[in-house]
Structure 1
Amino acid sequence: MRKLITPFIKISSFYVIVGLILRIVLLFSPVTDSNFSFIDYLKIFTIGLINDFCVSILIFIFLWVHLIFLSSTKYKSPFNYIILGFFVIVLSYLFLFKTVFDDYGSIVPTLIKTFVLIKAISFIILLLMQNIRQTWRYWVYFFIFFSYIFLINYNVISEFLFWNEFGVRYNFIAVDYLVYTNEVIGNILESYPIIPMFSSLLLISLLITILYLKKSKKYFTDFPNFKIKLIGSLLYMALFIGALYILKITKKYENSDNTFVNELQANGLVRFYNAFEDSSLNYDQFYAKLPLKKSFSILNNSYDNHWTENYNTKIIKDSLPEFRKNVVLITMESMSADFLSSFGNTHNITPNLDKLANEGLFFTNMYATGTRTVRGLEALTLCIPPSPGESVIKRHNNDNMFSTGYLFKKRGYVVQYFYGGYGYFDNMNTFFEGNGYSVIDRSSFKSEKISFANIWGVCDEDMFKKAIEVFDNNNKNKVPFFGHIMTVSNHRPFTYPPGKIDIPNTSKSREGGVKYTDYAIGKFIEEAKKHPWFDQTVFVFVADHCASSAGKENIPLDKYKIPAIIYSPGFIKSEKITKTVSQIDLMPTLLGKLHFSYNSSFYGQDIFNNTYQPRALIATYQKLGYLKNNTLIVLSPNQKVEQYKVIKGSQLLKDKNINHSILEEAIANYQTCFYLLKNNRLKVKK
């Protein structure tokens, strides 16, 4: 039995020790901007230790299966013929037929084929060459053990980098990153000294493996008998099931008001699994709700509309004729409000945006709906509250939606979406093409038109040059256009063409990424002024989300504030809008400036309408926030409701006296939107 237990003790102890070291490092990371009480520390390390030990039990299953199948009996007749025949059948199936693994695409079929082929070759070698079995088994065991050590170390580095980027353990972003391996691996290669890091990681893992296994060769002289393996397996399965149960219990203790405490006591691999499982959440099942008719009644009162659960529509009627202006919407990657001098930044990294802000309609108190690009695109395109789980853009059945593009296309506009990367990322091609946009992405560029690119796409200058060419062609054909441009340069690894700004392109700094995007925007506007369509065009600049979403609160308000500017000299007067505005209100406000009349399915409002009530809808993947009158309501799974008072601009103070009027408005917005999405009520009626 000791031969089965010893490997487990080695792997488990190593995983727990490394987990403890990681937890300490994350605790003192500059990102972890918080103070902790004694109880907080106790939870972080006690529950954290329990979580890590339970996970060490779960991950050991692969090595356990390998160990219990070690035997000499399988090489004796008739077992050898049965096993050999089994490998022939499986390999024939994998290499000669379309298999179930092919449905997963990517490298999954190749990995499965390679694994089975290696196992088959290994069996044949050991069947024919009895004298090398002991040595062979040792080196296979050595390789598996080394793989465990390496992957544990690799995960620690990954979690550290992920924490520094997002201030949390693995979440939906990590799941997305696993899906979009090309962009993510390319991003890592361009952002970090990957060869030295991996070389060091391999060397350290190898040395640790040698230290652990230097006396393990004698393990392969003989093996535990069937009875011992059976008893050991039963004990291990009991531990396995117990670990799963305990992990469910410890999850209930992630209940601190300080998000960092919850994150630090959690286990990253468990968080990754939970994120993978919970990519979409049923609002009615997990969140506080009201009778549906009451929710729609509250919605009508707060928005002064006439919405019903059967057909979501409200009539927007303008008394003036429509302006058929071209519209160019520029969604800026990770452009936090506090990057602009207008919000107090002293580093002068956005001179062009600051100039546009002074010359246009400038929103100084706008909040993004989420922390991912798809959330920003959803807010600007569909103008609806963020729904729990994944963005609508990432979901199935998201075509033919009522959108800003639909309204322009209905009026004879050319509707186009521009993206410097490949539009399959984040499901953008599928969503925008399914909603009537023509997509111009990196695949539309000829090689000679690309002056600089990184893994996320062509640089912003190249994207803007492409857009101007397309707009020139639209104008030549005498057709108005709505162009939605998504920038990419202000994203790690923050690389851009050399010699453009005073921050070296080799610095790979956030400030460099911000300043280059601002530089590209300035060049774009100056070039656009030379073209005949400029005077007939309205430009809208808005961030998709902030550069960072980490904070000790569940929804840190300062990590959602974004800049937004509507710019059109001679048409839009310069003005600062200080009232609270949601990202979903930007396009309905623009449509109001164009005097569009339409039947609307938008939750977003024209902020200049006298019925507008300042409020903002902001969310994470599970937390749904509603900000109004310096009160923030946060709805969470398990029907949890929290209220915070907003003090000193963005600081939050827990408030136990729930404002039921604002709470019901919050529920009404999210509950009705979920209902309408679920029942396809936000699609265009054919």
Structure 2
Amino acid sequence: MLYSSKFRCGIMPLCLFCALSMGFLSLSRIGLMLWLNSNVPDGSVLYILLQGLRVDFASVCGLYGPAFLILIFCSIVRLKNNAVILIIKIYLALGFTFLVFNEAATPPFILEYGVRPNHLYVQYLIYPKEVLNTLWNGHKLAVFADIFIIALSLYAGFKLASLLFKNYVFASFKITLLSFIAVIIILPLGVRSTLGHRPLNPALISFCNDPLANSLPLNSSYSAVYALAHLNQGKLSASDIYSFDNKENILFEGMDFSVKKNTAHHSAQCPLNQIITSNSPQKYNVVIVLEESLGADFVKSLGGLPLTPNLEQLKNEGWWFTNLYAAGHRSIRGIEAVTASFPPSPLDSIVKLPRTESSYATLSRIYESYGYKTSFIYGGESHFDNMRNYFLENGMQEVIDQNNYKNPKFVASWGVSDEDLFLKAHEKFTQLKQNNENFFSVIFTSSFHDPFEIPEGKVKLPASIQTDEPRRLAAAMYADYALGEFFKWIEKSNYKDDTIFLVIADHESRVRGNGSFPLSEFSIPALILGPNIKAYQDERVVSQIDMAPTLLSLSGISGEFPLIGQNLNQERIKERALMQFNQIFGYLENGKFVTLEPQGKAAFFNVGKHNSLVETKEDKQLLKKAVALENLGPLIYSQGYMLDSCINP
């Protein structure tokens, strides 16, 4: 007999189901290790497998714990009801399907983000329309595969549970009582997986500097549930950040970070204020074109593919940055950096965080205080990632999104095409100029977003480019094409001579963990165009957060503002950049790079060609500075150091 009758009583069927589930998770982990063998450090295979068993045991204890308690309760009261057993079978089948589905989703997620499913995986669940449209319009094969996997998993899970519970009988009262004692002890300990002060968490089993390798001991159901449980809306614990530095050092490094040559009067509530001065005799309009995902990988002159000829042409007419780094690998991180000069940190982006009081001293709030008309122009639904609330509550007088386009020429999963977007912006700016209004606007593109739907016949990939992702690369070319069309309209517009333009990517298209930190994937293009701006190639190392004070200076705005970035419109600056990749904070300065992980893990590197990293010895001064700057964002958020009350025109 394949399945002995002695296993058909008490909690044995559930124990066997847990063991088989853990076996599946281990096989999945082994498969990932074989696929990602180059990311598995030498000598770490046994560690990954053993820690994986630990995580898997914690997972099945948490997932199947209710089934154990229900079964033991029914055994104690001798309630052997077929309906109860059926409910347990269905519950087990659903639990098994949950495990299988998340493991099946792991390879494509790793290809896109470089780690197992994390907070990004669960954050997108609150936007079902966008996610479903993306999957259906660009990944139909994956949708049908997922449906098949779910159906097969439900069937297999239910059949397995039915086999294990076939001819099931209750154990004796004595065995049931002992089982109950064992379960109420083992389940909590199993979920917690440690007798230490803090329960099991991803940082506890991290063992190297490679984020992808550190995620291998996890299973994707655990990492997804952990991320969901820690969407904490702005609260950080000591386990979420390298170190909570002292307030004085954080403020000192924060002020020094901006090179405040003309130091502002630092009040207790506005200690990070800096003075921005402008030599311009007039006030210019300002337009920020935030290009979705259009990183250096698609710009030939920055070492990427030759997919952006219009941007390459435009760079010959303005201020072009060759060593600018994104603050993060998500749009909301780029938005806060460019529009508010807010530093990246383990804290969630302020685009999504609730305000503590008042509103932030964003560019839109500053320009509004100077009498500008302010607007955010987007082709999709602005509620995504809380963008609408962020902009409206922080100085944007008008938000234009997909609902405001009449008869657009092309509509994709993420909104109207970039051509429709730029046409709407062009019409808006033309009208404002006719009304003699100064304006500040942020245009956020969306055509270069998975599933990469673009109008037909607009672009054609060069024959020299061989790729297995033609849709992605064609979408990059289309984003550049639409940008080129916009600037053709600008050339003939009534607002050209009165407007400063910043064209900048929000982040790179794909930021994957390769080694300790994918520094090369944080390189993005940026270009400033406008009156009196000479063609110049700026090779200084700078950050997205430097754009806000620079634009203020160029546009004729002088005053005292709580901005962390530095005004690049001056000769002497500090060449540095800070960035956040998942839980890892990175700081770059003078060819040296340091990474900080939760629970006190730091690594030091020399930066080589193409942003390659070579590990080196500890640098205590660099570490002290990096720790303070990582803590800067949480301190600013909690203390309100960048609110509109600090604006002093």
TM-score by length of 2: 0.88
Please give the alpha-carbon distance, in whole angstroms, between the structure 1 residues aligned to 2:455 and 2:93: 41
Please give the alpha-carbon distance, in whole angstroms, between the structure 2 residues aligned to 1:291 and 1:507: 48
Q: Which residue of 2 is the match for residue 316 of structure 1?
A: 275
Q: Which residue of 1 is the match for residue 121 of structure 2?
A: 174
Question: Could you tell me which amino acid in structure 1 is paired with residue 236 of structure 2?
Answer: N
Alignment counterpart, residue 684 of structure 1, candidates 621, 634, 644: 644
Query: Which digits, 9 at most, give the CA deviation of each residue in 1:275-314, with x for residues without a partner?
Result: 2344445388844355433443444455233546542354
Query: Which digits, 9 at most, give the CA deviation of each residue in 1:120-156, with x for residues without a partner?
Result: xxxxxx9xxxxxx64x566545433432332222111
1:238 aligns with 2:196: no
Query: Which digits, 9 at most, give the CA deviation of each residue in 1:429-484, with x for residues without a partner?
Result: 111100120343435324x4233323322222221122122222212322011110
Question: Could you tell me which amino acid in structure 2 is paired with residue 654 of structure 1?
Answer: E
Question: Could you tell me which amino acid in structure 1 is paired with residue 95 of structure 2?
Answer: Y
8 Å CA contact retained: 1:165, 1:548: yes
Q: After superposition, where does 1:607-686 map in structure 2 within 5 Å?
A: 607-660=568-621, 662-685=622-645
Q: Which residue of 2 is the match for residue 589 of structure 1?
A: 550
Out of 640-649 and 370-379, give the one that drifted further. Answer: 640-649
Please give the alpha-carbon distance, in whole angstroms, between the structure 2 residues aligned to 1:6 and 1:477: 78
Q: Which residue of 2 is the match for residue 110 of structure 1?
A: none
Query: Which digits, 9 at most, give the CA deviation of each residue in 1:593-650, with x for residues without a partner?
Result: 2342110211111123234111101113432222100111223333444322212241
Please give the alpha-carbon distance, in whole angstroms, between the structure 2 residues aligned to 1:309 and 1:665: 22
Q: Which residue of 2 is the match for residue 97 of structure 1?
A: none
Q: After superposition, where does 1:306-455 map in structure 2 within 5 Å?
A: 306=264, 307=266, 309-316=268-275, 318=277, 320-346=279-305, 348-397=306-355, 400-446=359-405, 448-455=406-413
After superposition, the Cα gap between the structure-2 partners of 1:472 and 1:46, relative to the gap in structure 1 and judged at 3 Å, is same
Q: Which residue of 2 is the match for residue 18 of structure 1?
A: 24
Alignment counterpart, residue 59 of structure 1, candidates 57, 63, 66: 63
Q: Which residue of 2 is the match for residue 512 of structure 1?
A: 474
What root-mean-square deviation, in Å, do the aligned CA atoms of Structure 1 and Structure 2 show? 3.0
Question: Could you tell me which amino acid in structure 1 is paired with residue 188 of structure 2?
Answer: I
**Unaligned 5+ runs, structure 1:** 76-125, 127-132
After superposition, the Cα gap between the structure-2 partners of 1:597 and 1:373, relative to the gap in structure 1 and judged at 3 Å, is same
Please give the alpha-carbon distance, in whole angstroms, between the structure 1 residues aligned to 2:189 and 2:149: 32
Question: Could you tell me which amino acid in structure 2 is paired with residue 623 of structure 1?
Answer: I
After superposition, the Cα gap between the structure-2 partners of 1:508 and 1:204, relative to the gap in structure 1 and judged at 3 Å, is farther
> Equivalent residue of 2:502, what SS?
strand
Alignment counterpart, residue 209 of structure 2, candidates 257, 273, 295: 257
8 Å CA contact retained: 1:494, 1:509: yes
What's the % identity of the aligned pairs?
28
Q: Which residue of 1 is the match for residue 33 of structure 2?
A: 27
Please give the alpha-carbon distance, in whole angstroms, between the structure 1 residues aligned to 2:57 and 2:383: 39
> Equivalent residue of 2:528, what SS?
strand
1:49 aligns with 2:53: yes
> Equivalent residue of 1:395, what SS?
coil
Deviation at 1:54, TM superposition (A): 2.6
Q: Which has the larger radius of gyration?
A: 1
Q: Which residue of 2 is the match for residue 559 of structure 1?
A: 521
- Structure having the larger proportion of residues in helix: 1
> Equivalent residue of 1:416, what SS?
strand
> Equivalent residue of 1:394, what SS?
coil
Query: Which digits, 9 at most, give the CA deviation of each residue in 1:194-253, with x for residues without a partner?
Result: 453134214532552465256456435x54466544432322222212212326468523
Please give the alpha-carbon distance, in whole angstroms, between the structure 2 residues aligned to 1:618 and 1:41: 30
Query: Which digits, 9 at most, give the CA deviation of each residue in 1:639-665, with x for residues without a partner?
Result: 4443222122412222223141x3333
Q: Which residue of 2 is the match for residue 90 of structure 1?
A: none
Please give the alpha-carbon distance, in whole angstroms, between the structure 2 residues aligned to 1:527 and 1:339: 24
8 Å CA contact retained: 1:20, 1:49: yes
Deviation at 1:74, TM superposition (A): 9.1
Query: Which digits, 9 at most, give the CA deviation of each residue in 1:404-444, with x for residues without a partner?
Result: 11221122111101122222211111111001203434353
Out of 573-582 and 602-611, give the one that drifted further. Answer: 602-611
Please give the alpha-carbon distance, in whole angstroms, between the structure 2 residues aligned to 1:72 and 1:290: 54
Out of 472-481 and 540-549, give the one that drifted further. Answer: 472-481
Query: Which digits, 9 at most, give the CA deviation of each residue in 1:139-188, with x for residues without a partner?
Result: 54543343233222211112222222111112221231122233223322
Q: Which residue of 2 is the match for residue 40 of structure 1?
A: 44
